[in-house]
Amino acid sequence: MTDNSNLHVTALEPLHRALGARMVPFAGYSMPVQYPGGIIQEHLHTRAEAGLFDVSHMGQVIVSGEQAAAELESIMPADLVGLAPLHATYSLLTNGSGGVCDDLIVTRLDDHRFMLVLNAACKHSDLTIIQEACKTAAVEVLEQQALLALQGPAARTVLAALVPAIDDLYFMRAGEYTIAGIRCWISCSGYTGEDGFELSVANYDAEPLARLLLEQPQVAAIGLGARDSLRLEAGLCLYGHELSDDISPVSAGLPWAIAKARRPGGVRAGGYPGADHIAHQLSNGTERQRVGLKVTGKRPVREGQSVHNADGVAIGTISSGGFGPSVGAPIAMAFVDASVVEPGTEVKIDVRGTWITAHVTALPMIAPGYRRG
């Protein structure tokens, strides 16, 4: 804990302050929102070279046991039984009405062990759900483990210079590696739309590893501000915005997160909370869908603002908005009536009594840079 507040700190707190970060409260932690260069510079650097993010506030959990896959499948629509060792999958913790309690990444370490990475804001409630589901499997929270993310087109070159074997690690694959004597669990994943990696490392090794990476000329420290604008351009959902207890995976544009094996007719169909509701939506659609919006002019739009059709009829709500430095314009994601999801459709947004024009655009808004095998 910090001396003067109730905020938790990560193992990289001294480094953030040494680098001149502006620290803000986020999900119960003191986190860097930006460094002296500013959010736009950090965003563009990540798109052009490589950005280093501290994401140690997220939850890291190991679930182990012979029934681990089956017990975890009881709370999420992933195919964990069929997931190969050292492969990862994106999944969702669903509720009984087909909404989402959280999204997460699950990696199969070996036959009977899985690593889960949970969102910071939800990790305590997630842990309760996981512990209740795991009747026989052991649940271990990695309290003394930091998590760094190295993202951008130069991330692979930088990391491969330190550990050459990493060049063979493709999107949603993982493995254990040693970098300058530091043991790391590394997955090829991230939250920016770029090729990149997440590195789980013991707290005491986090700062030496971060400093080693920052010594590389392509790498710069990046804060939460740019992390949000990067994920917005990449069309990636943020819990509490594009995902919530009241938003289903289908409405959020994530039907692909319902594994084939868990869909109606699959080898292990259903069996997770809200499965019947989600199956119905997979067949029949939803009234509202998540879309991207590119805003005309320079004025950004924000979460909660009302979206209207050309006749002025309210047809949706902004879920996330801001400036997209790589797009060069204000951008947003919104939930709108299914009748207006066609790219190019013009909509109007009520911004404090002023109408702002925007057009539906395909997601993601930037070309993904994932390195797939």
**What's the CA gap between 118 and 140, in Å, rounded?**
13
pLDDT reading at 3 higher than 50: no
Pair 266, 315: CB distance under 8 Å: no
Strand, helix or coil for residue 104:
strand
The amino acid sitting at 367 is A
pLDDT given for residue 2 in this prediction: 42
DSSP E strands in the chain: the ranges are 22-26, 29-34, 50-54, 59-64, 88-94, 100-110, 113-118, 138-141, 145-151, 174-179, 182-187, 196-202, 219-221, 288-295, 306-308, 314-324, 329-337, 346-351, 354-361
Strand, helix or coil for residue 211:
helix
Backbone angles phi, psi at 204, to 5 degrees: -70, -15
Q: Which domains does the chain have, with CATH numbers?
A: 1-285 (3.30.1360.120), 287-364 (2.40.30.110)
Q: In this predicted model, what pLDDT tens digit does every residue of 101-157 receive, in sequence order?
A: 999 999 999 999 999 999 999 999 999 999 999 999 999 999 999 999 999 999 999
pLDDT given for residue 5 in this prediction: 64
The two beta strands, 138-141 and 182-187, are unpaired
Q: In this predicted model, what pLDDT tens digit does every residue of 85-101 receive, in sequence order?
A: 999 999 999 999 999 99
The predicted model scores a pTM of 0.96
Q: Compute the residue count for the chain.
A: 373
Q: In this predicted model, what pLDDT tens digit does every residue of 22-57 receive, in sequence order?
A: 999 999 999 999 999 999 999 999 999 999 999 999
Q: In this predicted model, what pLDDT tens digit does every residue of 331-356 receive, in sequence order?
A: 999 999 999 999 999 999 999 999 99
Q: What is the dihedral of CA 309, 310, 311, 315, to 10 degrees?
A: 0
How would DSSP label each residue in 171-207?
A: TTBEEEEEETTEEEEEES--SSSSSEEEEEEEHHHHH
For the record, the structure tokens of 363 come out as 């997601």
Pair 170, 372: CB distance under 8 Å: yes
